[in-house]
Structure 1
Amino acid sequence: MTTYAAFLRGVNVGGVNLKMADVAAALTAAGFTNVRTVLASGNVVLDSTAKVAGVRKKAEAALRENFGYDAWVLAYDLETVRAIDAAYPFEREVDGYQSYVTFVADAAVLGELAKLGDQAGAEEKIRRGDGVIYWQVPKGATLDSAIGKTMGKPRYKSSTTTRNLRTLAKVLR
């Protein structure tokens, strides 16, 4: 049995409104165990005997079936999430800034997003990590940043999702 973090993209922030208790029930009914949600923004910790790709596929199918939306889930074993969090390359808490990790399931998309560092303004920091993009941006400028403008495009929706470091800390508790 492996403990996974499953990050649901676009839940309770982009027009798809789900109650986390209902999400937990749907995932439990799909066969996952020890399911718990973290915050209301689509973060789930669960146990499964499946490999990571199976967790993603099974969770997406359960959400689509139960809630009728085009669900996208990125799943990682909890130790991988812990390593990603520990590798954050910038100062974690900077007054006036948001610190983020964008999880990326597609290698080509990861490469495209990493190149945005060349287009970032002086206030935005972007660095490629192992399957992720680390970034930091002034508060209030997230949507106008190089990453923010790009992430809203349909091409990136099925293979990316972003979490701030405070959310990751809660997932890792």
Structure 2
Amino acid sequence: MTTKYAALLRGINVGGKKVPMADLRTVLEGLGHGDVRTYLQSGQAVFVPDHGDEDSLAAEISQAIERHFGFGVDVLVRDHAYLKAVAEACPFPAADLAPKQLHVTYFSAPVTPERFAEIDQDAYLPEEFRLGDRALYLYVPEGLGRSKLAEHLAKPRITKGLIATSRNWNTVVKLVELTGD
């Protein structure tokens, strides 16, 4: 069985970092990866690698994007099994929530509760977060754009030394589907 991976690009197609998905597919195919597909314009691609592990694939893709587009982009690569496990471990009732209310932030390394100790979660209720395996689940009833908790979680002192990129629940579920074909 062939393992499919998802590349999650951080912070593209906002501001000045424009990465057309057709060009991203070309970059990935140029690296020798097969069955390349992109999803939406917000920076995710699914592919079958011909070499490497998650970290080396992420570094290779990031370098190729910089060569092709002239700017750096942080990239995380995760396989189907991991993406599926994250979706299945969601501590919130995903089926009962609107997709804009639930998000997953994927991290480049495991995170510990100590990293988030300064955050008084009660001060942000009804917004909440829970930690998972290299992931943070975020419930924001009014959506991410209005979330004070999300704003606080994105502060450099919280994410220092990590690559972190968030996806709404629809995208989380779709990436599981796309990598599971």
8 Å contact kept, 1:124–1:137: yes
2:167 pairs with one of 163, 167, 170: 163
Aligned partners of 2:130 and 2:138 also within 8 Å: yes
Deviations 1:95-128 (A, max 9, x none): 5961000001133587524764636511111000
Runs of 5+ consecutive residues of structure 1 not aligned to the other structure: none
Q: Which deviates more, 90-99 or 112-121?
A: 112-121
Deviation at 1:67, TM superposition (A): 0.8
Q: Which residue of 2 aligns with 1:37?
A: 38
Identify the residue that residue 137 of structure 1 maps to in structure 2. Answer: 140
Q: Taking structure 2 as the reference length, what is the TM-score of the superposition?
A: 0.83
Residue 57 of structure 2, aligned match among 43, 55, 58: 55
Aligned length, in residue pairs: 173
The percentage of counterpart residues that share the same residue type is 30
Mean CA deviation greater in 56-65 or 12-21? 12-21
Give the 3 Å change call, closer, same or farther, for CA 108–118 of structure 1 in structure 2: same
Which residues in structure 2 correspond to 1:67-82 (within 5 Å)? 67-82=69-84
Structure with greater strand share of residues: 1
What's the secondary structure of 2:26's corresponding residue? Answer: helix
Aligned to 2:105: 102
**Structure 1, 1-10 or 138-147: larger mean CA deviation:** 138-147
Structure 2 unaligned segments of length 5 or more: list them.
none
**TM-score, normalized by length of structure 1?**
0.86
Paired letter, 1:138: P
- Equivalent in the alignment of 1:9: 10
What RMSD over aligned residues (CA atoms) do the two structures have, in Å? 2.6
* Amino acid in structure 2 at the alignment position of 1:23: L
| Paired residues of 1:35 and 1:46 also in contact (CA < 8 A) | yes
Instruction: Report the Cα distance in structure 1 between the residues aligned to 2:78 and 2:113, rounded to whole angstroms.
Output: 16
Confirm or deny: 8 A CA contact 1:56 1:74 kept in the other structure: yes
Q: Would the alpha carbon gap of residues 141 and 130 (structure 1) be closer, same or farther in structure 2, given more than 3 Å must change?
A: closer
